[in-house]
Structure 1
Amino acid sequence: MTPRQVVCLVGGRGSRLGPLTDFIPKPLLPVGGRPFLDYLIHEAQRFGFDQLLLLAGYNSDEFVRRYSGRRGGGLTIEVVAEAAPAGTAGALLNAASILQPTFFLINGDSFFDFNWLNLLRALDRDDWTMQAALASGVSGARYGRVETAGGRISKFLPKGVSHLPVNAGIYLVRRRLLERIRTMPCSLEDDILPSLAAKGELLGYPARGAFIDIGVPHDFNRGQQAMPQYMRRPAAFLDRDGVINHDDNYVHRPEQVRWIDGALDAIRWLNDEGYYVFVVTNQAGVARGFYSEDDVNSLHAWMQTELRRSGAHIDSFEYCPYHPEGTLEQYRRTSELRKPGPGMLRKLQKDWDTEVAGSFMIGDRDIDMQAAAAAGVAGYKFPGGNLLDFVRARVPARRRSPAAG
């Protein structure tokens, strides 16, 4: 079973930011017009997680007040407040009773824009306890660096070495890590990670993407403009039947799905390259009474689960249940959502911060191309074959990341 839990370390005060954190914990400071933590919550929602645990220390009441019990995008947030400073590893021990067997762990004061789900590829092996995402191509002398050998972190190096990747503060963790925490307080960075590396139990996954740590004034100030820019990206709008799965006459149950060759790999490639990925699909079968909206949503949830197993995800599924000749009265109408209308694409452009330049639609019918033109994005008509090959021949790589394959 793939992990559904994200644990976020938000316990530190952030003393290097001076008076900014006298009353507000560092992850709650406003960056680009919103609390920095909200960007991380957005990422956890995008990647399909069910639960976010905030491990709070300094001024934990603020996390409880703002986030405890909050739900959105399928994600539920819980706050675990420590009674006394426990350190970044000790905070995990305090939450031991609710940690899942495998979970994601993230720092609450840094952001790395890469496809988290690529870390899941290591789950078919049992020769590691943690896997760390490594940000490649990061400049600056303030970061410590890591050496890797054979896909494992072999050594942590002091600040000043610039050509090696940095630990990006995103991890896939097996719960057995807790057995290594024997004293309190305990630091993940100082006490646990070097020991795991020495024993060969710490994998390193290098990727390219925007990275920022707001822990010092210079980068906190840089983040005011950088973070909104990171959130704004081009989008891939994909038709469903005929592009992702074969169009086998009103597909609405998992057992009916036949994936298009290369579809899962194409979606993961788009994820890795930093595109938002949306599905926009006409579902006239609802209007004709062949199946219900619940059936559509259940199928999309199943598809998302299958995609996650391959390290891929869809950021949002949009569908139009209406048809002007529908047999069910409540769905019998003309709708701007129905392609060739651009309604679904425009809704996603409004709900998500997308760049029109660089965005595109892939469909297998003329109505898809018409919807793309009306929404102001490029349109690529898919004739069949391997979707990954089709995408890579037309869509520019944005990151040229090692993760992109």
Structure 2
Amino acid sequence: MKVVVIAGGQGTRIASVNSEIPKAMIPINGKPILEYEIEMALRYGYMDFIFIIGYMGEQIEAYFGDGRKWGVNIEYFKEDKPLGTAGALGNLKDQLTEDFFVFYGDTVMDFDMNAMQEYHKKKKADATLFVHPNDHPYDSDIVDLDDHGRVCRFYNKPHISDFVSRNIVNAAVFIFSPAILSCIEIGVKSHIEKNVLPMCLEKGMRLYGYLSFEYIKDMGTPDRYYSVCQDMISGKVTRMNRCNPRPAVFLDRDGVLSKEVNLLCKPEQLELIEGVPEAVRYINQKGYLAIVVTNQPVIARNLCSIDELNYIHAKLETLLGHEHAYLNAIYYCPHHPDNGYLEERKEYKIKCMCRKPSPGMLLQAASDWNIDIGTSYMIGDRVSDVQAGESAGCKQSVQVETNRPYALLDVLKSLI
């Protein structure tokens, strides 16, 4: 499988860092970012590259040559004029006859390429997008996925003022099949996110989102550049690869993140407790995964549909996103073992292993995201939350006072 690297941009926003070299050649720890991309791909056995170059592209070609120094093969496509992130791909139809990766040349990343490829094959996708939560979803391109990971819709920035969505952001790493190239007009400037992918969706192509919490950040602005430099130096970039087990903070929802409301079933009832955005942001900054595990008997009681619950959780993620905080995942139990309600849904009236105090949601999350339970924490406002964490094998489980402002942040600072 080939790796196409789009490295023709001028980098006007990051010019203050270094305006005399192309953006993809700006160094981190003495090496161009493109070199890190080659080294990562080579670790997973990907050796064939096509670099799309334009502005000051001769510097890229002079540095990397044919790739022999790195044990890879590099070919070049030179743009005579700027063609956007997609325009040049149409010229490569004869070379891209099998599925291929697409990278942007200004991206710092370390992810399991083989795992993404396996997902792409399993879904029989025409295109697979790497998606993840981030701390600025309000000015990012949002991807709406169904329960199976298939792309339903794109919400490209800028967003309307009252926009509500799950925090699932396009990270700008892709696997494309050759079929995608049919949506690109040769020689015409176009962009993958704004033009190509929406057209593919309109044509009914199979587009999927590969959700991962591995490190992928562009360095398109000076602030982001200095941030990713620090992350590279500290080892954070490598630590976040899915092959490395990570710790998590498991969080109950009602009474811990959002104010306790009896049988909350409408989005307008959801309100963050004071101090919660700071607390979740603290988890993000410390390198822990923020995983919500919540009992939601409103489903069994038929007070709320799955779609309505998903919208409530989208509002939760939107409120946090406005404060530069994000949740990595939300797990909920829709069951309730007790019968006797007129409106109840019988299929959810069962005894299960996911309803706290059972540890099912925590164990499922650990399996899904390679979480090291033994270094993780459970924080809730009920005894059942503590029992679930203890049964799962968490390092520590803590009960906080329901609805108390800054309770979560105070506990976190005592733990991590």
Return the TM-score normalized by structure 1: 0.54
Q: Secondary structure at the match of 1:291?
A: coil
Task: Check whether the contact 1:268–1:311 (CA below 8 A) recurs between aligned residues.
Answer: yes
- Counterpart Cα distance in 1 of 2:299 and 2:350: 12
Comparing 246-255 with 382-391, greater Cα deviation is found at 382-391
Q: In the alignment, which residue of structure 1 is the partner of 2:162?
A: none
Percent identity between the aligned chains?
26
Aligned counterpart for 1:133 among listed residues 210, 224, 234: 224
- Within the alignment, does 1:331 sit opposite 2:351 as a pair? no
- Within the alignment, does 1:45 sit opposite 2:132 as a pair? yes
Q: In the alignment, which residue of structure 1 is the partner of 2:373?
A: 356
Q: Secondary structure at the match of 1:248?
A: coil
Change beyond 3 A, Cα 1:268–1:81: farther
- Within the alignment, does 1:12 sit opposite 2:51 as a pair? yes
Shift of 1:99: 7.2
Change beyond 3 A, Cα 1:53–1:243: closer
The superposition leaves residues 167-187 of structure 1 with CA deviations (integer Å, 9 ceiling, x where unpaired) of: x8xxxxxxxxxxxxxxxxxxx
- Counterpart Cα distance in 1 of 2:248 and 2:406: 20
Task: Tell me how many residue pairs correspond in the alignment.
Answer: 267
Q: Secondary structure at the match of 1:237?
A: strand
Q: In the alignment, which residue of structure 1 is the partner of 2:311?
A: 298
Two-structure CA RMSD over aligned residues (Å): 4.4
Task: Check whether the contact 1:342–1:374 (CA below 8 A) recurs between aligned residues.
Answer: yes
Q: In the alignment, which residue of structure 1 is the partner of 2:191?
A: 95
More strand by proportion, 1 or 2? 1
- Which aligned pairs between 1:111-190 and structure 2 lie closer than 5 A? 130=221, 132-135=223-226
Change beyond 3 A, Cα 1:304–1:55: closer
Unmatched tracts of structure 1, length 5 or more = 1-7, 57-62, 69-77, 85-90, 101-110, 120-128, 139-164, 169-206, 213-224, 397-405
Change beyond 3 A, Cα 1:275–1:81: farther
Unmatched tracts of structure 2, length 5 or more = 8-49, 53-63, 76-94, 105-109, 120-127, 144-153, 155-169, 197-211
- Counterpart Cα distance in 1 of 2:240 and 2:268: 44
- Counterpart Cα distance in 2 of 1:112 and 1:287: 31
Q: In the alignment, which residue of structure 1 is the partner of 2:60?
A: none
Q: In the alignment, which residue of structure 1 is the partner of 2:274?
A: 261
Amino acid at match of 2:131: A
Shift of 1:43: 6.4
- Which aligned pairs between 1:36-115 and structure 2 lie closer than 5 A? 44-47=131-134, 49-50=142-143, 52=170, 63-65=175-177, 68=180, 94-95=190-191, 98=194
Change beyond 3 A, Cα 1:37–1:262: farther
- Which aligned pairs between 1:23-34 and structure 2 lie closer than 5 A? 34=114
Q: Secondary structure at the match of 2:319?
A: helix
Aligned counterpart for 1:341 among listed residues 350, 358, 370: 358
- Counterpart Cα distance in 1 of 2:383 and 2:74: 55
Q: Secondary structure at the match of 1:303?
A: helix
Q: Secondary structure at the match of 1:324?
A: coil
Return the TM-score normalized by structure 2: 0.53
Amino acid at match of 1:17: W
Q: Secondary structure at the match of 2:302?
A: coil
The superposition leaves residues 118-160 of structure 1 with CA deviations (integer Å, 9 ceiling, x where unpaired) of: x9xxxxxxxxx9454135696xxxxxxxxxxxxxxxxxxxxxx
Change beyond 3 A, Cα 1:116–1:238: farther
Change beyond 3 A, Cα 1:328–1:276: same
Shift of 1:293: 2.0
